[in-house]
Amino acid sequence: TVKQGFEIEPFLQQLVGEARALPVSGKVADYIPALAQVNPDKVGLALATVEGKLYSAGDSTTEFSIQSLSKILGLVMAMNRIGDSLWQRVHMEPSGLPFNSIVQLEYEHGIPRNPFINAGAILIADVLASHYSASRQAFISFIRKLAGSDQIFVDEDVLQSEKQHGSRNAAMAYLMKSFGNVEGDVDRVLDHYFYQCSVNMTCEQLASSLTFLANRGLQPVTQRVICSRRDAHRVNAILSTSGMYDQSGEFAFTVGLPAKSGVGGGIVAIVPGYGVICAWSPRLNHFGNSCLGMHMITGLAEQLGLSVY
Ligand code: GLN
């Protein structure tokens, strides 16, 4: 049970203040040059509950590049679209390797270990690109519907930069294509993948958009069914084992929540039955996870007693 009778927003402000006072550690992602343009000192935190409350602190209404947080929404769309056949093309095991690793793909016949490493998300992009006539439009519409806002856009500079510096992602797509697992045209698949990574959102928008995952697939305020209860369970399960890449074990050990990070510095953590936390700060540790984001989510989960275990 979550701690009751507790002033949440002042505590979020305290966490942001403490994070800002910590000695600087980590480095902004620069392998996509446009991402290095961000102000590295930003710190935002938001918590959206299944009761429809939204608490936030710091730079929680500043947009940032959602990057791999988009992998959650791509997965939900693909599950909704093609059902269980998806799991013949992507597995649900932790990879034990960095998010952009390519080596397992050859040993495992072009089948990615899970949907949250790059290879898995590129496979999902293939599913979306071949099952929607305009998959990028479908993706942004889905996000806007979840966020209840039509003011969500792609950052064109980031998108171009991803394309120009996406050789490793292209290599994975071609390798999966050579095994017959990627079905469509590789350029179209990558166009979809880079597009979804380049969407900008705020901590507040991300936390409230994902509350359906804390509420068995049902969007709390609107009562719309976003995915089945079983699929919400499955997404949370894979988030728990693979959402924080090669630091997922440590995150489960210290925090104990399904969570996902992105190289834009965002982290979302799902608290089933309670709500969703989104933390943002651009400096990353060597796993590609936000240093201060990890710190704030750890503090919040401890203070509120949020672990699922
Ligand atoms: N667009 C990034 C990439 O493909 C996403 C990676 C991430 O956020 N971990 O490398």
In this structure, the answer to whether residues 222 and 255 fall within a common structural domain is yes
Q: Supply the residue whose CA is at minimum distance from atom 6 of ligand 1.
A: 68
- pTM exceeds 0.95 for this model: yes
Do residues 39 and 87 share a domain?
A: no
Residue 275 in tokens: 């709500």
Q: Is 101 in the pocket of ligand 1 (CB under 6 A)?
A: no
* Amino acid symbol at 137: Q
Mutate to test the pocket of ligand 1, among 99, 167, 280 (most ligand atoms within 8 A of CB): 99
Q: What is the pLDDT of residues 214-259, one digit of tens each?
A: 999 999 999 999 999 999 999 999 999 999 999 999 999 999 999 9
Find, among 141, 162, 163, 164, the residue nearest to 153 by Cα.
141
Annotated binding site for substrate: 68, 118, 162, 169, 193, 245, 263
> What confidence tens digit (pLDDT) does each residue in 114-150 have?
999 999 999 999 999 999 999 999 999 999 999 999 9
pLDDT number for residue 2: 67
d(CA 270, CA 260): 9
Residue 164 Cα to ligand 1 midpoint, Å, equals: 13
Query: Angle at the Cα of 120 (from 115 to 125), degrees rounded to 5?
Result: 100
ipTM above 0.90, yes or no: yes
Torsion angle of C-alpha atoms 168, 170, 175, 178, degrees rounded to 10: -170
Query: Tokens 């509420």, residue?
Result: 215
- On average, the pLDDT of the chain sits at 96
Q: Closest Cα partner for 191 from 154, 235, 224?
A: 154
Domain extent at residue 248:
8-67+199-304
Identify any residues that bridge with 200 across adjacent strands, giving them in sequence order. Answer: 65
Return the number of other C-beta atoms located less than 10 Å from residue 296's C-beta.
27
**Does residue 118's CB lie within 6 angstroms of at least one atom of ligand 1?**
yes
Work out the pLDDT band at 6, boundaries 50, 70, 90: confident
- Kindly give the residue spans of alpha helices, DSSP state H, lying in 134-247: 135-147, 156-164, 167-178, 186-197, 203-209, 229-242
Residues 84 and 179 in one domain: yes
263 lines ligand 1 (CB under 6 A): yes
Question: Do residues 63 and 126 both lie within one domain?
Answer: no
Do the domain assignments include residue 2?
no
Instruction: Please give the share of the chain, as a percent, with pLDDT higher than 90.
Output: 96
Q: Which of 149, 180, 197 is the last residue of a domain?
A: 197
Name the domain count of the chain. Answer: 2
Does residue 1 surpass a pLDDT of 60?
no
Rounded distance from Cα 68 to ligand 1 centre (Å): 5
Q: What is the CATH number of the domain that holds 245?
A: 3.40.710.10
